[in-house]
Amino acid sequence: MGEELRTTCPFCSLHCTDLRLTIDGGRLADFSPPCEKGQMGYANAISGLSASRKQSQTRTALQAVRLSLEAASRLLVVLSADLDREAVEGAIRFSKKFSAILTCAEEYTGSMFALAMKTAGFLTGTLGELRNLEQVVLCGVEPGQSHPRLGEMIQKNLLSQAIFLDPPDPLEAIRWLRLGNEERGENIPDFYTDIAAQIQKATSGVVFFGPKWLEAGLPVTTEFLLWLNDLNRTGRWYAQYLSLASNNTGVVETLLFATGFPPNVRFKAKSVGYSPRRWQAERLIQMDWPDLCLLIGRPRHFSEQTFARLEKNRTILLDPLAPSWRPHDWLPVAQAGIDVSGQVQRLDGVPIALQPIMPMERPTANAILADLASEGPRV
Ligand code: SF4
């Protein structure tokens, strides 16, 4: 039986720090405390290590990629929102060198909104505070799926007070909740008047929301901030964004710090431009804009059509796990928290250091990008 390891989980933005694992004969033999998502993440990552060993990592593979880069005039770099800080910084340096468009595969509006709320004081300081809150409101998210142990904590401590909201029109729902407290004689459905009264009674609470509620864009985010502001007139309310990706906010913050913009930027010789709608990853791929697409980390939400385009065109994937689709080149890279250390951000903004549990020889994404960018100027 292998030795028990204590570690921090890289597989969702809760980044639980109390995991105990046993690896025996190159397989995950024991995992606690229970979390299906974490256990599956580790089992896949550990078996992925042996798949990586079989993949050619010779300089010939890198040389072929280097030649493609030399020939490319429209380079698209797509980041996954699971990447650690070093990989994102490496991708920024690489994109500057090759005058690329740099985008993120995930929806990132929620992260921007979460950062705005943090600035406004609407985000929790630490997860520990949640246990003491009176009311939980879940807006189009199921923490049990995205962040299993958070879902468990809510179930155990707070479920009796939880309100679930999943209306077809979130904007209308927030407006009704706001009006429900103000007795303006509007024709508000009883459901919302009752919920508004329940929320109003609580002196503290947290609103969890996911990407689905933000799809309608600016009007929803504005109304959301106004609602939180209303709630904070009489109590202490927080909001928390729950993304499926494990470092959504960390990726956006690193980009903001280095470029002044979130994803969807285009680097030119001495400037950087920002166009959130025009330079979206899937839109550019579907338009066949890039003559070379470099994916750093696996995209979670791309459509089948987008993958079909990627397979047809020249695509390079840097990822720890073998893909289920067929990019032109797959270069296996180390994964923070499995075979290399790395820094990510927890969902409430706290920086978390991930340590390797099975160090091996796979290069980091940052090392490969630096190697590819090392020969000759190309700005
Ligand atoms: S809740 Fe998230 S961070 Fe915690 S063990 Fe499960 S997958 Fe890992």
H/E stretch holding 37: helix 36-54
**With 0-12 CB in 10 A as exposed, 13-18 as middle and 19+ as buried, what is 18?**
exposed
In order of 14, 123, 252, 275, 281, the CA distances from 217 in angstroms are 26, 20, 18, 15, 18
Q: What is the DSSP string of 270-290?
A: TEEEE-TTTT-HHHHHHTT--
Strands (E), the chain: 4-7, 19-24, 27-32, 75-79, 101-104, 135-139, 163-165, 204-209, 236-241, 265-268, 271-274, 292-296, 315-319, 329-332, 342-345, 351-354
Mean pLDDT, consecutive 10-residue stretches, the chain (379 aa), reads 89 95 91 96 90 65 84 94 96 95 85 74 67 86 91 77 87 87 70 88 88 79 87 86 90 92 89 90 95 94 94 93 92 94 91 92 92 70
82-113 pLDDT per residue, tens:
999 999 999 999 999 999 999 998 877 777 77
Tell me the CA–centroid distance for residue 17 and ligand 1, in Å.
9
User: Residue whose CA is closest, atom 6 of ligand 1?
Assistant: 38
Tell me the CA–centroid distance for residue 25 and ligand 1, in Å.
24
- The pTM (predicted TM-score) of the whole model is 0.90
Spatial separation of the C-alpha atoms in residues 221 and 224, rounded to whole Å: 5
What pLDDT shows up at residue 86?
A: 97
User: Residue whose CA is closest, atom 3 of ligand 1?
Assistant: 15
Lining ligand 1 with CB less than 6 A are: 9, 11-12, 14-16, 35, 37-38, 147-149
What pLDDT shows up at residue 100?
A: 96
The domain segmentation of the chain, as residue ranges, is: 57-107+247-372, 109-241
Q: 5, 7, 8, 12: which to mutate for ligand 1, most atoms within 8 A of CB?
A: 12
Tell me the CA–centroid distance for residue 116 and ligand 1, in Å.
26
Q: Report whether CATH 3.40.228 matches the domain 109-241.
A: yes
Q: How many helices (H) and strands (E) does the chain have?
A: 13, 16
CB burial string 345-377: b at 16+ within 10 A, e below? bbbbbeebebbbbeeeebbbbbbbbeebbeeee
- Closest ligand 1 atom, CA of 41? 7
136-166 pLDDT per residue, tens:
999 988 898 899 999 888 887 766 678 999 8
What pLDDT shows up at residue 379?
A: 47
**Range 57-107+247-372: architecture per CATH:** 3-Layer(aba) Sandwich (3.40)
**Residue 50's Cα: distance from chain center in Å?**
26
